[in-house]
Amino acid sequence: MALNSKQRSFLIGLASKEDALFQVGKAGITPEVCEAVSDALEARELVKIKLLKNCFDDVRGAGETLAGRTRSELVKVIGRTLVLYRPSKEHKRIELQ
């Protein structure tokens, strides 16, 4: 599921209106965080995640790790904020062209 530039731009526009749904702190990317993000992706399809300053993980590396573990696409890294997208199997809300 590779996104083209128009799809990525559309998703970034949608994400700009949303607040971060998760905050990742000192513990980093744990299995519990991955499970919660996966559940949120199934319900919402597009999720913003904020990495706090006390999270010592590399932001892009953490985004790629989280995207891999949740089988989603890393749309964008903005500062310490990640945007992930995965189409829902049951609750299709975002229609990409």
Question: Domain with 60 in it: what CATH number?
Answer: 3.30.110.60
User: For residue 12, what pLDDT is reported?
Assistant: 94
User: Does some domain include residue 24?
Assistant: yes
Domain, as residue range, for 19: 5-85
Total-model pTM: 0.92
The verdict on residue 93 lying in a domain is: no
Which contiguous run of DSSP H or E holds residue 14?
Answer: helix 5-16
pLDDT at position 2 is 83
- Is residue 22 in a domain? yes
Is the residue at 91 inside a domain? no
Number of separate domains in the chain: 1
The answer to the question of residue 56 being in a domain is yes
Helical packing angle, 59-70 and 31-44, nearest 10°: 70
Q: Is residue 96 part of a domain?
A: no
Residues of the chain short of pLDDT 70, as ranges, are 1
